[in-house]
Amino acid sequence: MVSDNHDKRLSIGIIGGGIGGVAFAVALSRDSGLDVHLFEAATQFSEIGAGVSFGPNAVRAIRRLGLEAPYRRIADSSPPPFEDVWFEWRRGRDDAYLTATLAPGCGQSSVHRADFLEAIVENLPEGIAQFGKRCIEVQQDSESATARFADGTTFTGDILIGFDGIKSTVRDHVLPPEQYADLGPFWSGTYAYRGMIPTQQLEATLAAKGADKRLARVPQMYLGPDRHILTFPVKQSQLINVVAFITDRSTPSPQLPEGEEWVNAVTQEELLEVFEGWGAASQAILECIPEPTRWALHELPELPHYHRDRVLIVGDAAHAMVPHQGAGAGQALEDADVLASLLTEEACDRHNAEAVLAAFEAVRHARTCKVQRTSHEAGDVYEYAGAGIGDDEARLIENLETRYDWLWHHDPQDDVVEARRRLGWKQDADSRGPKA
């Protein structure tokens, strides 16, 4: 199909219907001057994974995307007086308390991924999303960009936005492998064992092992050499999301065994063996996960750029990262907020859209690369391998109490203001967030 809606000032194709792509489409749909189309490879909207957490920066983006009400309806938070706790940090071998990281007014603001996506989708008008559209190729010329799908159909619009995840097809167009070599995902060296535990079951098991049952409902991080475990509540605190990590640091570039899938079902025995000798709380948590899944965590290298003329990659397609700062989904939402704010400006049309995409990249690239880099570094810190920190608990505590400040205190609106300046657009109060 060709977007021939010439009474609109700009036609936009969005490839990928995850949290970021749908939030972006919802924000754009409120502007009657835009012709918006979203293409999802699956037969319906769906999310893999379990819990996802958002820092204060991401919650600000959610608010400006006009999605705060559905978010608040499903978001979890810690019980008083722990509502500002992002994580409590403990020594894995004996559960000893080290410190807490606080996010005032936000805390560990977490949701179940599928619930959050469903809540966003409810705000997406009919007719924007199409399903069964797996993008296999992108092309463009001086006036338009075209996505070709596996079912034989195509879409041509003024611009294309790739929200199509870590295995992005759009990325191969923006950064052609024959020109840039392999810039695709690589294994981080870390496996993540995942499980969900009914809250009451975990509380009972903690108590039976002599551990404080409060550890179930207040977000926890248990730290140890090359390993760490995190827990936080989801589903209105009915379930506890658990992720247990182990990292191979025996080589600078660990390789996943050839042919191994990214996600595998494994035995509880394997999980318990990895954390043998850890404290009562850790043992209670892991014994409540009879059928864990093991995820080989992949990330992207820092890409040289995200934009090629009329095509842009954002979210995990541009800067997929390991989850150690709870920042991946948040960066996708920041991207959605900033880009929607620019594209919904009346000054933005098909004639200057390329310049708008370039301005977006100019104000986002350094930040998203830094979030990628520091997310990897955070995993090192948690597992007693941080540069200049190691297993020195005094230095570890100092780092954990302050390392997220720069990440959380950023306001995506500042990126919008800077992009407008680069574009020569006037600054006014109406530029705050996507247009209603």
Residues marked active site are found at 194
User: How far is 245 from 224, CA to CA, in rounded Å?
Assistant: 10
Cα-Cα-Cα-Cα dihedral of 49, 51, 52, 56, to 10°? 180
Residue 205 token pair? 């098991």
The CA-based angle 214-74-337, given to 5 degrees, is 120
The radius of gyration computed from the CA coordinates of the chain, to the nearest angstrom, equals 22
Strand-strand pairing, 34-40 and 10-15: parallel
Q: Who's near 174: CB < 8 A, 6+ residues apart?
A: 162, 305, 306, 307, 308, 311, 312, 313
Contact 24, 163 (CB under 8 A): yes
User: How far is 213 from 81, CA to CA, in rounded Å?
Assistant: 15
331: Cα within 13 Å, side-chain hemisphere: 28
